[in-house]
Amino acid sequence: MSAIASTPAEAPLAQPASPAELFFTFNRLALQGFGGVLAIAQHELVERQRWLTRQQFVEMLSLSQVLPGPNVVNLALMLGDRFFGWRGALASLGGMLLVPLVIVLALTAAYAEFSRIAVVAGALRGMGAVAAGLVIATAFRLMGTLRSNRLGPPLAAAFSVATFVMIALLHWPLVWVLAGLGSLAIALAWRRWR
């Protein structure tokens, strides 16, 4: 809960003590995630627990992006596997899904009734707007990693902007953007290590 704006990217990394700690950490961050968990995951795993640097987080996220399946779920699996193998992967996955699953199924029954109440509908709108802001803020936090990107900051930023335009403004399918623009970016990065 501390409000220090330090630079956690530089701080030494910590490690989870056990699969149980992974379970409870992912459970806690999933329960905070209204309208998506990614922003909370970045906050908890990088800024708070310091299990990953921002650089490691964005690399893990990049990999989970191109793999099928929900990004945060893939991220949980990778992180769990990294520390405790299979047991860690299952602990992270279970922590992220079990309790929220029970809640969401309980809400399913109640939703039709409650969503008609204006105050509840308004509160959900407000939480939705914050969820959008949290995702944008996560992107801003991770932008710093582009400074050390081997593509060079201007080219890396150009790829970010192009991705934004293709997905948000042109509504192109993600698979095509990753296959086309992604391949180009990887090919250019490949040449930097000659």
Partner 1 sequence: MSGWFHTALSAADLLGLFGHFLVLSLFAVGGAITTAPDMHRYVVAEHHWISDAQFTSSIAIAQAAPGPNVLFVATLGWSVAGPLGAIATMFGTLIPSTLLTLAVTRWGAKRKESRGMRAFTTGLTPLTIGLLVATGWLLAAPYATDRAHAIGAIALVAITVIVMVRTRISPMWLVGLGAIVGAFGWV
Report the site for partner 1 in 37-66 (rule: CB under 8 A).
37-40, 43, 47-48, 58-59, 61-66
Give me the 118-137 binding string for partner 1, x by CB under 8 A, dash otherwise. Answer: xxx-xxxxxxxxxxxxxxxx
Count of residues that interact with partner 1, criterion CB under 8 A: 115
> What does the alpha-carbon distance between residue 69 and residue 96 come to, in Å, rounded to a whole number?
14
Give me the 89-108 binding string for partner 1, x by CB under 8 A, dash otherwise. Answer: x---x--xx-xxx-xxx-xx
Residue 9 is a binding residue for partner 1 (CB under 8 A) = no
Residue 88 is a binding residue for partner 1 (CB under 8 A) = no
Q: Is 29 exposed, middle or buried (0-12, 13-18, 19+ CB in 10 A)?
A: buried
Return the residue matching tokens 């209204």.
34
Q: Which is nearer to partner 1, 37 or 91 (CB)?
A: 37
Q: Which is nearer to partner 1, 24 or 177 (CB)?
A: 177
Report, in Å, the least distance between residue 16 CB and partner 1. 17
Residues 6+ apart with CB under 8 A from 26: 76, 91, 92, 93, 95, 96
Residue 87 is a binding residue for partner 1 (CB under 8 A) = no
Q: Which is nearer to partner 1, 24 or 151 (CB)?
A: 151
> What does the alpha-carbon distance between residue 111 and residue 162 come to, in Å, rounded to a whole number?
39
List the one residue out of 44, 104, 97, 53 whose CA is nearest residue 73: 97
